[in-house]
Chain A
Amino acid sequence: MANGGTVETTYLGAIREALQEEMRADESVFMLGEDIGAYGGAFKVTEGFLDEFGPDRVIDTPISEAAIVGAAIGAAHMGLKPVAEMQFIDFIAPAFDMIVNFAAKSRYRTGIGAGLVIRGPCGAGSRSGPFHSQSVESYFANVPGLKMIAPARAYDAKGLLRAAIRDPDPVLFFEHKFLYRRIKEQLPVDEEVFVPVGKARTHREGADLTIVTYGAMVYKSADASDRISSEDGAEVEVIDLRTLRPLDTGAIVDSVKRTGRLLVVHEAPRFGGFAGEITAQVCEEAFEWLDAPIRRVTAIDTPVPYAPTLEDYYLPGEDDIVAAARWLLAY
Chain B
Amino acid sequence: MRTLYRFLWLTRALEERLETIFKQGHVVGGLYRSLGQEATAVGCGYALAHGDWIAPSIRDLGALLARGVQPRDVLRQYTARGSSLCAGKDNTNHFTIPELGILGPISPLGTQLCVLNGVALSFRTRREPHVCLTFQGDGASRTGTSHEGLAMAAALNLPIVVVLEHNRWAFGTPSTAVAAVENWADVAGAYGVPAVTVDGNDVLQVYDAATQAIARARAGDGMTLVVAETYRMLGHAQHDAQKYVPEHELSEWEDHDPIQSFSDYLIEFGFESASTLERIRSDVAAHLDAAADEVLAEEHPPAEEARTRVYGDPELDADVPWSRGPVPGYEGLTSGWRGRPAAGLEGA
Q: Is the CB of A144 closer than 8 A to any CB of chain B? A: yes
Give Cα distance in the complex from A30 to B126, angstroms: 12
- Look across to chain B and name the residue whose beta carbon is closest to the beta carbon of A100: B108
A110 and B118 in contact (CB under 8 A), knowing A67-B148, A98-B145?
no
Is the beta-carbon distance between B149 and A70 smaller than 8 angstroms?
yes
Residues facing B in A129-160 (CB within 8 A) are: 144-145, 147
Is the beta-carbon distance between B106 and A102 smaller than 8 angstroms?
yes
Q: Mark B117-138, 1 if CB is under 8 A from A, else 0.
A: 1111110110000000000000
Q: Mark A3-21, 1 if CB is under 8 A from B, else 0.
A: 0000000000000000000
Q: Is the CB of B205 closer than 8 A to any CB of chain A? A: no
Is the beta-carbon distance between A66 and B144 smaller than 8 angstroms?
yes
- Look across to chain A and name the residue whose beta carbon is closest to the beta carbon of B311: A169
- Look across to chain A and name the residue whose beta carbon is closest to the beta carbon of B107: A101
Q: Is the CB of A192 closer than 8 A to any CB of chain B? A: no
Residues facing A in B134-154 (CB within 8 A) are: 144-145, 148-149, 151-152
Chain A residue numbers with a CB within 8 Å of B118 are 70-78, 80, 82
Is the beta-carbon distance between A62 and B155 smaller than 8 angstroms?
yes
Is the beta-carbon distance between A67 and B312 smaller than 8 angstroms?
no
Q: Is the CB of A115 closer than 8 A to any CB of chain B? A: yes
- Look across to chain B and name the residue whose beta carbon is closest to the beta carbon of A114: B115
**Contact of B114 (CB < 8 Å), options: A69, A80, A108, A284:** A69
- Look across to chain A and name the residue whose beta carbon is closest to the beta carbon of B153: A67
A79 and B108 in contact (CB under 8 A), knowing A67-B117, A115-B312, A168-B312?
no
Give Cα distance in the complex from A110 to B103, angstroms: 10
A74 and B122 in contact (CB under 8 A), knowing A62-B151, A101-B108, A145-B310?
yes
Is the beta-carbon distance between A167 and B312 smaller than 8 angstroms?
yes
**Contact of B111 (CB < 8 Å), options: A94, A101, A246:** A101
A284 and B327 in contact (CB under 8 A), knowing A62-B151, A71-B152, A111-B309?
yes
Residues facing B in A103-128 (CB within 8 A) are: 105-113, 115
A residues adjacent to B (C-beta < 8 A): 30, 56-57, 59, 61-62, 64-80, 82, 94, 97-98, 101-102, 105-113, 115, 144-145, 147, 167-169, 198, 246, 284
What 13 new A-B contacts, CB under 8 Å, besides A74-B118, A108-B310? A30-B125, A64-B152, A65-B148, A70-B118, A74-B116, A74-B117, A77-B115, A98-B115, A101-B108, A107-B311, A113-B312, A169-B311, A246-B319
Q: 8 closest Cβ contacts across the A-B interface? A: A74-B118, A70-B114, A168-B312, A78-B122, A67-B152, A71-B118, A64-B148, A75-B118
Is the beta-carbon distance between B106 and A105 smaller than 8 angstroms?
yes
A56 and B149 in contact (CB under 8 A), knowing A101-B108, A168-B312?
no
**Contact of A71 (CB < 8 Å), options: B94, B117, B144:** B117
Chain A residue numbers with a CB within 8 Å of B311 are 107, 145, 147, 168-169, 246
Chain B residue numbers with a CB within 8 Å of A108 are 89, 309-310
Interface centre among B104, B113, B145, B319 (most CB of A within 10 A): B145
Q: Is the CB of B292 closer than 8 A to any CB of chain A? A: no
Is the beta-carbon distance between B98 and A112 smaller than 8 angstroms?
yes
Chain B residue numbers with a CB within 8 Å of A70 are 111, 113-115, 117-118, 145, 148-149, 152
Is the beta-carbon distance between A75 and B119 smaller than 8 angstroms?
yes
A66 and B145 in contact (CB under 8 A), knowing A71-B121, A77-B98, A108-B309?
yes
